[in-house]
Structure 1
Amino acid sequence: MIHLTDITKQHGNRVLFKHASLQIPAGSRTGLVGPNGAGKSTIFRLITGEEALDNGDITCNKKTVIGYFSQDVGDMTGRSALEEVVAASEATVALGERLKKMEARMCEPLDDDEMTTLLEQYGEVQQEFEHRGGYDLESRAQAVLTGLGIAPQDHARPVEQFSGGWKMRIALARILTLNPDVLLLDEPTNHLDMESIIWLENWLMDDYTGAVVMTSHDRDFMNRLVSRIIEVGNGTITTYSGNYDFYLTEREIRREQLLASHRRQQEMLAKEEEFISRFAARASHAAQVQSRVKKLEKIERIELPPEQKRIHFEFAEPPRSGDDVVTFNDLGKIWPQPEGEDKQVLSNVSGLVRRGEKIAVVGVNGAGKSTFLKLLHGDTEPTTGEVTIGANVHTGYFSQHSMELLDPNKTVFETVQDALPQLTFGVLRNLCAAFLFQGDDVDKRVDKLSGGEKSRLVLATLLGRPLNLLILDEPTNHLDIQSREVLLEALQGFQGTLLLVSHDRHFLRSLVNRVFEIRHGGMTAYEGDYEYYLDKTGHDHRAL
């Protein structure tokens, strides 16, 4: 369907790829992976024509409809949410208008030749209109908006009234409703809660038949949807047949094979160079020496890609807390509303957090998960009931608000050093490296960091402290897959107690041993891991 052949692209002095090729077959499901800055977003922009190639060719059928969702949603003003979504399908709307005009002409007196020509044109336009899903455009837009978490009663709300995260959902709904032949999705699960991620996953599996190329930080989402991986990095593009987990295994196998080939080649080169240096001055061996020199000149040298270094930081064992870490009885919380009735979020919630437990707090969007964590940490007072913190409990709390508390004028290293003054310089450097701040990265100022880098910085300062209770509200937001794996490994080794809200299913499966579900203002405790919770609740296992 789309072919990128022998392409070369350079940004400044940095070569993203050189003489690389890739194909996007019709109906294929492709994950696009690679380190930050490798050129993943550039691939999308080249396909859409937003950027031009330095060399090479991109071929695509002129009738192929491409939908591109990026993190830059642009301006949204002057329309309702539903109107904004429908407006993205302007070509489909225009086809519908053409059909109406043609139908009107058919009611006029026409000679046979004119009617034949008109009917042929009408058939072509109708076929294109049907292919683009024109007959159910508005109902499809409504279904997509609702699936992405925007309730039907909010479809008529002006887009200006939605926050940035909800505008991202509207922007995603625009692209999905377009029903293109090829979907280019750049981090589509950002800003989505669990329910919306599951809906999107099912929609792409069941309702969408076109090709998908996507980047995603959600490992489960990638694994369930893609059947091929395209890796961008080290100036080249490599295709793997399989999902993300297969890619990780296959990449390691290929790297081992490359290392073995490189080792054999180095041994052969060393022998040839030794022969040349030994016999270069002997006239009797001149022909052999020249032959081997020419042979070496023709050999294509195997180059090893730079290895991504991972630093494993040994976290200090936290002080032992009492067996009962947090007890809460008859908790209730009412949030005052500026207009209308006050909102009862939680009522009569009781339970116990025991030492060493790693607990997932789950529930639909708006159920009160963050409110529950704030109550346990003491960030807000309960309307009713009480929270009792156990003996010798030292608490660390992470929320999206935590990143706003960072000093923008300090560097990464200064921030960690201020939080952990008792650690030596070398230990601090190792802690920074464990959270992927290596080399000059430690000297970057906070105001120059991305959202993911700020998250990693706050988490590094938390996990470096002698804490025995961590309360983490969406710590995986903004983190790429590698950063999530770093955090997961750190939390798996954490010997204290953990309460966690996350929309990353792989993260929850790999970490928690107990689940609190917040539902309809109440709470149910499940005495088992995330899979046990899914079994007990009967959720859709294909999605969850």
Structure 2
Amino acid sequence: MIRFENLTIVRGTKLLFKDTSIVINPGESVGLVGANGAGKSSLLGLMHSQMHPDSGDVFFPNNWRIAYVRQETPTFERTALEYVLDGDSNLRKTQAQIADAQARGDGYQEANAHIAFADANGYSAPARGQSLLLGLGFTLAQSELPVSSFSGGWRMRLNLAQALMCPSELLLLDEPTNHLDLDAIIWLEDWLSRYTGTLFIVSHDREFLDSVCNVILHIENHKLKRYGGNYSQFEILREHELALEQSTFEKQQATIAHLESFITRFKAKATKATQAKSRVRALRKMERISPRDLNSLLVFNFHSVNSAPNPMLVLNSVCCGYKLDSGREQVILPRVTLSVQKDKRIALLGANGQGKSTLIKTLAGYLPPLAGNITQGKGLKIGYFSQHQIETLENDNSPLQHLQRLAPDAHEQELRDFLGGFNFRSTMAMEIIKSFSGGEKARLALALIIWQKPNLLLLDEPTNHLDLETRQALIMAISQFNGTLIIVSHDRDLLRGTTDEFLLIADSRVQPFNGDLDDYRNWLLKNLADQRTAGHKKERDTQGSITSNINRQTKKRIDAKERHRLTQLRKPLQIKIESLEKAMVLLNKEKIKLDALLADKTLYEPSKKIALMDSLKRHSEVKFQLAETESSWLTVQEAFEKIDC
């Protein structure tokens, strides 16, 4: 188990924890929650020895292996798969021992190293690493690319895969969903549900915490408090606690008022002086309860939309993409025909790289169409929040200055009142934003959009950088927005609370998805292998009306394209199957020879001890290699057969 005993941590001048104690049992999945800056990441750092407590202790078994996600990724030229395999340090250690023994010609040590390699599941390691990469959104081809070829977000995925590759009894994840799309988050949830060790997670994704965690540790007032259950259950218990504390506070205030009244009335009377002094002492000794503001949740609202055109936008055979520096066009969605109707609330679904952000940028006018045309309704006013919206803010300006640029004629008090609704109160409205957190900057960017009273709201990952409280405030605000909404987000709580229609972007197409987010999760998990290697499979059943209306010639082209796609999927698997079958033939032949050799009694004579040991060692190696090759063959064969399903 893990025990924190009388833990105190101070960082600089800031007190994070003071004399707090807690126990976590083996195998529990723990969600760490609390206000930004409360010490969640510091607690994780403490557990993997990046920092030390100022006082108190942390105890867990010495033989526990700890896995955590690195924050930096060296620009290796080694492949993504090899980088992920580096996460299993024991595997790499045994590989080094084998190489060293071979270099020294030490057959006995080499045999022992091969046994250790098999015990570490070394023969299946590449397949396991590949599975992690596929689950996190990489293709088979990308797994062979050098680490240096990936962008920052994808390198963080590599770091996550490396942490998951590490055999561990304790896994520490700090905001693991930040660089993932919804598809990868669903896969990660499924993977973590099978993890048998102890898990600590810091996350602002409410549904992710609900799905994965069975214990919540809440950080407040420099203390850790344990709650059984997931995040939603914690919220219910927490609300009851706050209500009870508020009730206790009110009762104490009534008692204090009564005592003070008695003291005021009778402190000058000789007959009551002793009693008055007694009550003064009682007041001094009383441990004051702090008030609980049950209505302290951050709340902000969109302005009402007075009028809006219908349709809002019409896309007619629009080619979505962008121009490269070379002048060449990069087409993402070749032919989009879409009518955005008034009052629709639409979520865009699909894996990273399929074109969700490209489409929303095209709708917002930030990317001109490469072909086709877009018609805007009269009176359309777009509010657009991009993934990198906070980068458009001026770091040397205050929230008030940002808003004054949008509304130069508005009274300062009106602007201050508006900013106060976004928690930029008092002097904070006048502070330059350079020192603001990412969440505070995102909150300001949202405020600036809301001020402009859009009737079409386009949001691309608006919850990035936001804490749980601000996310909840955003959900409440958007749910009351009476305009039209199109949103891209990996936050399912936000999507459930604000949208009622889904468009699936996959295979260079935009089409309706008939179902809810639970249907989407089930669909993803069922088709994950095919989706990760060849893109999302078409939803033939739900989209039958489309194929029934197209002419026979078009259907033939589609069928031909599908046959070509299946052939392209089968080809690398067929090559792999043939390669594995050849390897099995050779290994079986060698095993037969070794079996015959070991059956020869003369091999066991004292003079042939070295030959016997070499034969036994090779026999063990061949058996392991044969078993692993057969296992790989079965896995690839199953994948091959599923392509026809």
Is the TM-score greater than 0.5?
Answer: yes
Residue of structure 2 in register with 1:393 after alignment: 380
Query: Which of 406, 411, 414 in structure 2 is aligned with 1:424?
Result: 411
Report the counterpart of residue 302 of structure 1 in structure 2.
289
Structure 2 SS opposite 1:397: strand
Check if 1:90 corresponds to 2:89: yes
Range moving further from structure 2, 432-441 or 515-524 = 432-441
**Alignment partners' CA distance in 1, 2:322 and 2:187:** 29
Query: CA offsets, 1:449-480, max 9 Å, x none?
Result: 33333322221111111321122222222222
Task: Specify whether residues 135 and 533 from structure 1 end up closer, same or farther in structure 2 by C-alpha distance, changes over 3 A only.
Answer: closer
> Within 2, Cα distance between the matches of 1:161 and 1:385?
33
Cα deviation 1:479-505 (Å, max 9, x = unaligned): 222222222222122221111111111
Task: Give the Å deviation of 1:392.
Answer: 1.1
Matches of 1:100 and 1:185 in 2, distance apart?
34
**Are the aligned partners of 2:492 and 2:517 in contact in 1 as well (CA < 8 Å)?**
no
Alignment match, 1:247: 234
What is the Cα deviation at residue 313 of structure 1?
Answer: 4.0
Residues 475, 292 of structure 1: alpha-carbon distance in 2 compared, 3 angstrom cutoff: closer
Matching residue's letter, 1:236: K
- SS of the counterpart of 2:408? coil
Asked if 1 retains the 8 angstrom alpha-carbon contact of 2:267 and 2:273, the reply is: yes
Give secondary structure in 2 for the equivalent of 1:150.
Answer: coil
**Residue 417 (structure 1) shift:** 2.0
What amino acid is aligned across from residue 4 of structure 2 in structure 1? L
Q: CA deviation at 1:336?
A: 5.8
| Partner secondary structure for residue 44 of structure 1 | helix
From the superposition, tell whether residues 209 and 407 of structure 1 become closer, same or farther in structure 2 (CA, over 3 Å). same
Secondary structure, aligned partner of 1:168: helix
- Please tell me whether the aligned partners of residues 320 and 333 of structure 2 are also in contact (alpha carbons under 8 angstroms): yes
SS in 2 for 1:400: coil
Using a 3 Å threshold, how does the CA distance of structure 1 residues 141 and 338 change in structure 2: closer, same or farther? Answer: farther
Q: Which moved more, 1:274-283 or 1:157-166?
A: 274-283
Offset from partner CA, 1:404-462 (integer Å, 9 cap, x none): 33223211221122123344323322332333333433233233333333322221111
User: Which of 162, 171, 175 matches 1:183?
Assistant: 171
Offset at residue 107 of structure 1 (A):
6.0
Determine the structure 1 residue equivalent to 2:192: 204
2:364 touches 2:458 (CA, 8 Å); kept in 1? yes
Matches within 5 A, 1:84-123: 84-95=83-94, 97=96
Correspondence list, 1:221-240, <5 A = 221-240=208-227
2:308 counterpart SS class: coil
Change (3 A) 1:531 1:7: closer
| 1:350 Cα deviation after fit | 1.5
Query: 1: CA distance between counterparts of 2:467 and 2:133?
Result: 26
Report SS of the residue matched to 1:376: helix
Equivalent residue number for residue 47 of structure 2: 47
| SS of equivalent to 1:403 | helix
Secondary structure at the counterpart of residue 129 of structure 2: helix
**Residue among 467, 471, 489 paired with 1:484:** 471
Match among 460, 481, 486 for residue 473 of structure 1 = 460
Aligned counterparts, 1:266-305, within 5 A: 266-272=253-259, 299-304=286-291
Cα 1:392–1:157, aligned 2, differ >3 Å: closer, same or farther? same
Distance 1:283 1:106 in 2: 100
Q: Is the 8 A contact 2:459 2:486 kept in 1?
A: yes
User: What's the counterpart of residue 359 of structure 1?
Assistant: 346
Name the structure 1 match of 2:629. none
Residue 67 in 1 paired to residue 67 in 2?
yes
Secondary structure, aligned partner of 2:5? strand
Judging changes above 3 Å, is the alpha-carbon distance between structure 1 residues 466 and 512 closer, same or farther for their aligned structure 2 residues?
A: same
> 2:319 matched to 1:332?
yes
Q: Which shows bigger deviation, 171-180 or 292-301?
A: 292-301
The CA deviation at 1:388 is: 0.8
Matched, 1:169 2:162: no
Distance change in 2, residues 1:303/1:432 (3 Å):
same
- Say if 1:488 and 1:511, in contact at 8 Å, map to a contact too: yes
Identify the residue that residue 9 of structure 2 maps to in structure 1: 9
Distance 1:32 1:226 in 2: 10
Match of 2:309 in 1: 322
> Displacement, 1:259?
1.9
Q: Tell me the matched-pair count.
A: 527
Q: Is the 8 A contact 1:509 1:529 kept in 2?
A: no
Cα 1:89–1:437 change in 2 (3 A) is farther
Q: CA deviation at 1:273?
A: 5.6
Check conservation: 2:298, 2:470, Cα contact below 8 A: no
- Structure 1 CA distance, aligned partners of 2:500 and 2:329? 35
Contact 1:435–1:486 (CA under 8 A) maintained in structure 2:
no
- Residue 32 of structure 2: aligned partner: 32
- Once the two structures are TM-superposed, the CA of residue 188 in structure 1 deviates from its matched residue by 0.3
Other structure's SS at 1:356 match: coil
Q: Deviations 1:161-216 (Å, cap 9, x if unpaired)?
A: 2111111111111111113111111100011111111111110013x111111111
Equivalents in 1 of 2:274, 2:498: separation in Å? 66
Whole-angstrom CA distance in 2 between matches of 1:150 and 1:375: 26
Q: What is the rounded CA distance, in whole Å, between the counterparts of 2:323 and 2:277 in structure 1? A: 88
Query: Which structure: greater helix fraction?
Result: 2
Give the Cα separation in 2 of the matches to 1:315 and 1:234: 33
- Paired amino acid for 1:192: L
SS in 2 for 1:146: helix
**SS in structure 1 at match of 2:200:** strand
Distance 1:165 1:50, change over 3 A: same
Q: Separation in 2 of the partners of 1:499 and 1:98? A: 56
Q: Which residue of 2 aligns with 1:115?
A: none
> Aligned-pair distance for 1:4?
0.6
User: Residues 479 and 378 from structure 1, CA distance in 2 versus in 1: closer, same or farther, beyond 3 angstroms?
Assistant: same
Relative to structure 1, the CA distance from residue 135 to residue 371 in structure 2 (aligned partners, 3 Å threshold; closer, same or farther) is same
Do structure 1's residue 449 and structure 2's residue 436 form an aligned pair?
Answer: yes
Structure 1 residue 287 displacement after superposition: 7.6
* Aligned CA distance change for structure 1 residues 73 and 356 (closer, same or farther; 3 Å): same
Distance 1:238 1:40 in 2: 13
SS at match of 1:345: strand
Residues 1:376 and 2:369 aligned together: no
Task: Check whether the contact 2:346–2:502 (CA below 8 A) recurs between aligned residues.
Answer: yes
Q: CA deviation at 1:228?
A: 1.2
Further displaced range: 517-526 or 192-201? 517-526
8 Å contact from structure 2 (residues 34, 219) kept in 1: yes
| In structure 1, distance between residues paired with 2:299 and 2:470 | 13
Which of 375, 389, 393 is the aligned partner of 1:406?
393
Question: Is 1:234–1:305's contact at 8 Å kept on the other side of the alignment?
Answer: no
Moved more, 335-344 or 501-510: 335-344
Q: Confirm or deny: 8 A CA contact 1:394 1:468 kept in the other structure.
A: yes
Q: Is the Cα contact below 8 Å between 2:28 and 2:197 reproduced in 1?
A: yes
Q: Deviations over 1:52-81 (max 9, x none)?
A: 2122111111101111226x3253434322
Residue in 1 aligned with 2:143?
155
Match in the other structure for 1:415: 402
Percent identity between the two aligned chains = 34
Q: Residue 84 and residue 306 in structure 1: after superposition, are their counterparts in 2 closer, same or farther (change >3 A)? A: farther
Compute the displacement of 1:262 (Å): 2.6
Of 137, 140, 152, the match for 2:125 = 137
2:601 maps to none
Contact 1:471 1:498 (C-alpha < 8 Å) held by counterparts:
yes
| 2:605 equivalent in structure 1 | none
Q: Which runs of 5+ in 2 are unaligned?
A: 529-645
Query: SS state of the match for residue 375, structure 2?
Result: strand
Structure exhibiting the larger radius of gyration computed from Cα positions: 2
Deviations 1:6-29 (A, max 9, x none): 111223343222111122211101
Cα distance in 2 for partners of 1:321, 1:287 equals 74
Take 1:25 and 1:133, find their aligned partners in 2: how far apart are those partners? 27
